[in-house]
Amino acid sequence: MSNRTFTMIKPDAVKAGNIGNILQMINAAGFKIIAMKYTKISLDQAGKFYEVHKDRPFYGELTEFMSSGPIVAAILEKENAVADFRKLIGATNPAQAEEGTIRKLYAASVGENAVHGSDSDDNAKIEGDFFFSGLERF
x/- mask, Mg ion, residues 89-128, rule CB under 5 A, reads ------------------------------x---------
CB of 66 to ligand ATP, least distance (A): 8
7 binds, among ligand ATP, Mg ion, none (CB under 5 to 8 A by kind): none
Q: Which of residues 89-118 bind ligand ATP (CB under 6 A)?
A: 92, 110-111, 113, 116-117
- Chain centroid to Cα 40, Å, comes to 13
In the bound state with ligand ATP, the residue whose beta carbon lies nearer, of 116 and 132, is 116
> Is 116 a catalytic site residue?
yes
For ligand ATP, the binding residues in 41-60 under the rule CB under 6 A are: 53, 58
Q: Is residue 94 within 8 Å of residue 107, measured between CB atoms? A: yes
Q: Which residues bind Mg ion (CB under 5 A)?
A: 119
Q: Which residues bind ligand ATP (CB under 6 A)?
A: 53, 58, 61-62, 92, 110-111, 113, 116-117, 119
